[in-house]
Amino acid sequence: MNDTATTGADTHQKALEVNLDATSFGSFAEIGAGQEVARWFLRVGAASGTVAKTVSAYDKEVSDDLYGSGTRYVSRQRLETMLDCEWKSLVKQVGDARGKDTRLFAFADTIAARNFAGTNDCHGWIGVRFQDHPRAEASDILLHVNLRDNTNLLQQEAVGILGVNLLHALLNERAAPDDLPARMFDDLANDRLEIDQIVMRGSAFAGCQMDELHTALVRDGRAQAVTLDSDGLAFAANEFLYKKSLAIVPLARDPRDDLSPEAIAACLETLRREVAGNPEVKDVIDVRLMAVDSDAPLPAMGKGAAMMMRHRQLYPATAFARRYTQAPLRFAIPLPALIRIFDDVRYQHLEGRLLEGIARLFGSNVRVLAYPCPREKLLHLLKTDPGRGWDVDGSRQWTTADQLRPAPPLRHLYEYLLASGFLVAMPRN
């Protein structure tokens, strides 16, 4: 998606407006890709009205001396330590002199931009601690970003624009929390970076519904996906999914199409046996896959983790998970969902149509576990558009995937997937 939001002010103008605003003053601390945010405020002029200090703790020993050791350099923990340290220093140094009439802020980021070989996970944490009025208790906003440009220089540029947008939105626009994502993407196409976790705390964000904010990130294309832990809290996917084996369970709009807890438990147990003793697999978890491709209410997540995506097709989930884990991936679905997978209408946007969609879905070590369905329910589905051309063998009360028969030529592909083990016909428990 290449949509670019804009408010009419470019990055240069925004940085200058922040500098010319005598009511805000703060410091910048940046680790990793250079002083890409501070550079904007230093080069547009009038920086003395805004910038108390800039620091780039690029060297690891210097960073540890400033902020302590024991945390990863690109992590939420390191970002929060940076904000704590820089905020305390700022208040101590200028709080008495400026605090009466000035809103203080501390900006920090820790970034892993593209390395020379192009082999690293390009991401980072960005945060601001700020006062929404002089002498106020500080509020915090923390962002986890994934950098999607293919060069280090472009990634630096994107971080710089994002940082300026964020500070301008907080300090000058006084943007409402729900409006912040759109403001942060001014002059940035959605495919340049993703924001997949936002943390807001303090009086400036009172009443903000974080679940709605994260849902909007996905729906508006500002994150390919947002992962949620079992408590429903957003969690950066590069940490949440890292080296984990996943049983992905798509959530249906119609709860009658949902898998039973017993079926999900069976899938998890199968995976655990498969990866037992594999040191490259940290854990086995089930993840509910939720489509947020419209403003319609989301289905109830229930227990367990979740992954929100914009797409109803399953193949984007394979590509997304493979960014963070190479462990076995299993989609657990009932037969009605299986039939919809083979509906060619879902792949009109792909050059290779159905064949390309199926190839993307069944990536390395990916299987679809198809669970049985009551025969009468299945026969009713076969009268609808997605089911036309499909037949059912046998007369048992429950139908399994190997009893389904699509019409040729699709039948040949379907039988190949069954025979090769990409598609697994699960038995009736």
Measured in whole angstroms, how far is the alpha carbon of residue 290 from the centre of its chain?
13
Does residue 186 fall inside a structural domain? yes
Angle in degrees, CA 380, 382, 384, rounded to 5: 85
Residue 59 pLDDT? 82
In a shared domain, residues 319 and 377: yes
**Domain stop point among 152, 187, 207:** 207
In a shared domain, residues 125 and 176: yes
Q: How far apart are the first and last CA of the chain?
A: 43
- Residues 171-189, mean pLDDT to the nearest whole number: 95
Residue 296 pLDDT? 64
CATH number at residue 33: 3.90.950.20
Does residue 220 fall inside a structural domain? no
Kindly report, residue by residue over 252-301, the tens digit of the pLDDT: 776 667 888 888 998 899 899 999 999 999 999 999 999 997 666 666 66
Higher pLDDT, 195 or 304: 195
In a shared domain, residues 302 and 418: yes
**Domain stop point among 187, 207, 227:** 207
Residue 256 pLDDT? 65
Residue 377 has pLDDT above 90, yes or no: no
Residue 158 has pLDDT above 80, yes or no: yes
Does residue 103 fall inside a structural domain? yes
- Residues 147-152, mean pLDDT to the nearest whole number: 95
DSSP letter, residue 28: E
What's the domain count of the chain? 2
In a shared domain, residues 358 and 256: yes
- The CA distance from 344 to 325, in Å, is 29
Confidence at 387, pLDDT banded by 50, 70, 90:
confident
- Residues 399-428, mean pLDDT to the nearest whole number: 95
- Residues 401-407, mean pLDDT to the nearest whole number: 94
Q: Nearest Cα to 127, choosing from 171, 183, 166, 88?
A: 166
Does residue 5 fall inside a structural domain? no
In a shared domain, residues 202 and 266: no
Residue 296 amino acid letter: A
- Residues 331-337, mean pLDDT to the nearest whole number: 93
Residue 303 has pLDDT above 90, yes or no: no
Confidence at 388, pLDDT banded by 50, 70, 90:
confident
Using CB atoms within 10 Å of the CB of residue 333, give its burial: 0 to 12 exposed, 13 to 18 middle, 19+ buried.
buried
- Residues 19-45, mean pLDDT to the nearest whole number: 93
Residue 298 pLDDT? 66
Does residue 225 fall inside a structural domain? no
Residue 5 pLDDT? 46
Asked whether 186 and 223 are in contact (CB, 8 A), the reply is no
Confidence at 316, pLDDT banded by 50, 70, 90:
very high
Residue 6 pLDDT? 44
In a shared domain, residues 189 and 277: no
Does residue 268 fall inside a structural domain? yes
Mean pLDDT of the chain, nearest integer? 91
In a shared domain, residues 280 and 190: no
Structural domain harbouring 314: 237-425
Residue 3 has pLDDT above 60, yes or no: no
**Domain stop point among 188, 207, 226:** 207
Using CB atoms within 10 Å of the CB of residue 143, give its burial: 0 to 12 exposed, 13 to 18 middle, 19+ buried.
buried
Least confident range from 70-74, 141-145, 240-244, 279-283: namely 70-74
Q: What percent of the chain has pLDDT over 70?
A: 95
DSSP H/E element including 38: helix 38-43
Confidence at 7, pLDDT banded by 50, 70, 90:
very low
In a shared domain, residues 249 and 393: yes
Kindly report, residue by residue over 346-356, the tens digit of the pLDDT: 999 999 999 99
Which three-class secondary structure state does DSSP give residue 323? coil
- Residues 309-325, mean pLDDT to the nearest whole number: 94
Asked whether 174 and 230 are in contact (CB, 8 A), the reply is no
Cβ within 8 Å of residue 72, ≥6 positions away: 78
Angle in degrees, CA 295, 298, 303, rounded to 5: 160
DSSP letter, residue 234: E
Asked whether 126 and 143 are in contact (CB, 8 A), the reply is yes
In a shared domain, residues 261 and 350: yes
Q: What percent of the chain has pLDDT over 90?
A: 77
- The CA distance from 406 to 416, in Å, is 12
In a shared domain, residues 151 and 243: no
Residue 1 pLDDT? 39
Does residue 392 fall inside a structural domain? yes
In a shared domain, residues 261 and 151: no
Cβ within 8 Å of residue 153, ≥6 positions away: none
Q: Which residue has the tokens 């008495």?
A: 96
Does residue 120 fall inside a structural domain? yes
Residues, the chain? 429
In a shared domain, residues 149 and 288: no
Q: Nearest Cα to 54, choosing from 81, 82, 14, 23?
A: 82
Q: Nearest Cα to 144, choosing from 231, 223, 242?
A: 223
